[in-house]
Amino acid sequence: MKAEVECIPCVFKQALAVSRYITDDPVRQQRALDAVMQIMEGISLDRSPAEISDKAVKTVCNLLANEDPYRESKHKHNQEVLKLYPRLKEIINKADDRLHTALQLASAGNIIDLGIVPTFDIEKTIEEVLSRGFAVDHYNQMKERLPSAKNILYIGDNAGEIVFDKLLIEELSPLPVTFAVKEGPILNDVTKEDAREVGMDKVARVISTGQQVIGVNLPEASPEFRRLFEEAEIIISKGQGNYETLDGTSDRIFFILRAKCNCVARSLGVQEGNVVLLRKSKDGSAGIS
């Protein structure tokens, strides 16, 4: 997915949010935004929004000397959602279609995105998603592929959200799942530390993409990740950053995300705030349900 002009003010908004996480000093905040403004001059919109945001976020973190400003918030959200785990499991146990309900819950977890949505009500979001369902729902396509799937690659997104991912992976059992995380901290994206904290390593093999970036830069990812990406019969991609960077790379990807801005909503063919379970063909068209 390519960036649009309206992505630019969103990048500055995200950069400001990161700077405020690091410091209360408005002088330092302005200095960080000035640096972001310099790197944004003449930047190509042929890049994905995630790539542009990645440069801005890293500029702020480097200038303000804090590589991991969301570390405490990530731990907090992991623990908060772990407390919800028994109730979420009960919802799945009572569902007519356990896997479909687990997929919906996984999409609800995508609201935990501190880079774009600084405040949220996770319990309200769960209720809304279970009530409204997916705006685009390619569940039948996924079910058709599951019986022949020998490898599932699940690309994680954010801390806290990872607990919802764990519930979904438990429903995919006994199919083998590899869960991919970031090599190092970027925003509130999941790392191996987060995976261990919520017990993801007990239900899936956990690997790193080999990168510390927003989304996935597939050509520069680790050889292990690229091999698994090519071999997996089903790829589950969580979140907006992964969608922005992986859109058009494979027709084996099922994107699960909430459309958190108008640009992404248009790309998905839905309204802002909708959640989707979407498979696209390589030409960018939605798969046939």
Q: From 47, 63, 79, give the residue that closes a domain.
A: 63
Angle, alpha carbons 100-103-106 (nearest 5°)? 155
Q: What is the pLDDT of residues 240-267, one digit of tens each?
A: 999 999 999 999 999 999 999 999 999 9
287 domain residue, yes or no = no
Please tell me the pTM assigned to this model: 0.95
pLDDT of residue 114: 66
Q: 76 CB contacts (<8 Å, ≥6 apart)?
A: none
Per the domain annotation, does 289 fall within a domain? no
| Whether residue 32 sits in one domain with residue 142 | no
What pLDDT score was predicted for residue 289?
Answer: 39
Q: What's the average model confidence in pLDDT over 185-200?
A: 97
57, 176: one domain:
no
- Residues paired with 238 in a beta bridge: 256
Distance of CA 83 to the CA centre of its chain: 21
Whether residue 174 contacts residue 209, with contact meaning beta carbons closer than 8 Å, is answered with no
Do 139 and 39 share a structural domain?
A: no
Range of the domain at 149: 71-279
Looking at the structure, tell me whether residues 81 and 221 fall in a common domain: yes
- Split at pLDDT 50, 70, 90, the class of 161 is very high
Tell me which long-range contacts 16-22 makes (C-beta under 8 A, separation of at least 24).
17/114, 17/115, 17/118, 18/57, 18/60, 18/61, 18/69, 18/115, 18/187, 19/60, 19/64, 21/69, 21/70, 21/73, 21/114, 22/60, 22/61, 22/64, 22/66, 22/69
For position 258, what pLDDT does the model report? 95
Phi, psi of 281 (to 5 degrees): -75, 165
The total number of structural domains in the chain stands at: 2
Same structural domain, 225 and 249: yes
pLDDT value, residue 121: 85
Q: Are residues 143 and 167 in the same domain?
A: yes
172 and 79 in a common domain: yes
What would the pLDDT profile of 52-94 be if each residue is shown by its tens digit? Answer: 999 999 999 999 999 999 999 999 999 999 999 999 999 999 9
Coil, strand or helix: which one is 247? Answer: coil
What's the mean pLDDT in 30-59? 94
The CATH number of whichever domain residue 173 belongs to comes to 3.40.50.10880
Contact 221, 209 (CB under 8 A): yes
What percent of the chain has pLDDT above 90?
90
